[in-house]
Amino acid sequence: MHSGNNVENAFVIFEKNTVITLRQNEYIIQEYLGGGAAGHVYRVKNNNQEYFLKISIGTFGRNQVNNEIEKYKLIIKNSGQAEKDMFLEIKDVAINQKIAGFVGELMDKNLFQILEERDYAGFRLDSVQYIGRILVKQLCFLHRLNLRSEGVV
């Protein structure tokens, strides 16, 4: 990883146009999307394609991201094609002594942006039912895998 910033803690927020390298791939920060104690999420660009990048620096965040990556691998390993289509695709992963990060498929919009565009008007019942069915299928699939987070009973 390289950038114009000295990266020593998990609270660094990279500026636009900072270059982040995971393995051999360079990603250019386009926008900060959000974050917390376990890392930050950015909209990034690589070869004119946009992705999300979740990156964490420091032991706690690196362990959290590594845990997320391992659970994602378990999900994909146990997925048929129908289940795989329900999850965002991870394109790149890098974990080393200082950082952990992964890059994945970027959704066009989140639910809040869609609501905002619609002036907070509701959705048609059939649309809500369709979204609900997808969410229930995803939750049932995850439940069958019996994934547990550390510290969660």
pLDDT tens-digit series, residues 98-112: 778 889 888 777 778
The residues, any chain, with a CB within 8 Å of residue 56's CB and separated by 6 or more, are 10, 38, 39, 40, 62, 64, 65, 99, 100, 101
Q: Which tokens belong to 23?
A: 């393995």
What pLDDT is recorded for position 149? 58
Mean of pLDDT values over 31-49? 87
Closest CA to 78 of 150, 142, 148, 149: 142
Can you tell me the distance from the alpha carbon of 105 to that of 72, in angstroms, rounded to the nearest whole number? 14
- Give start and end residues of each alpha helix (H) in 50-106: 59-77, 81-84
Can you tell me the distance from the alpha carbon of 42 to that of 36, in angstroms, rounded to the nearest whole number? 12
Can you tell me the distance from the alpha carbon of 15 to that of 144, in angstroms, rounded to the nearest whole number? 40
On the question of pLDDT at 46 being above 90, the answer is yes
What pLDDT is recorded for position 8? 40
Confidence of residue 45 (pLDDT cuts 50, 70, 90): very high
Mean of pLDDT values over 13-32? 88
Q: Which range among 12-16, 97-101, 106-110, 121-125 has the greatest average pLDDT?
A: 121-125
Can you tell me the distance from the alpha carbon of 98 to that of 52, in angstroms, rounded to the nearest whole number? 20
Q: Which tokens belong to 74?
A: 């378990």
Mean of pLDDT values over 7-16? 62
Closest CA to 147 of 93, 138, 100: 138
Return the higher-pLDDT residue of 11 and 94: 94
What pLDDT is recorded for position 151? 43
pLDDT tens digit sequence for 62-71: 777 778 888 8
Angle at 103 between CA 100 and CA 11, to 5 degrees: 45
Q: Which tokens belong to 71?
A: 């659970």
On the question of pLDDT at 152 being above 50, the answer is no
Total length of the chain: 153
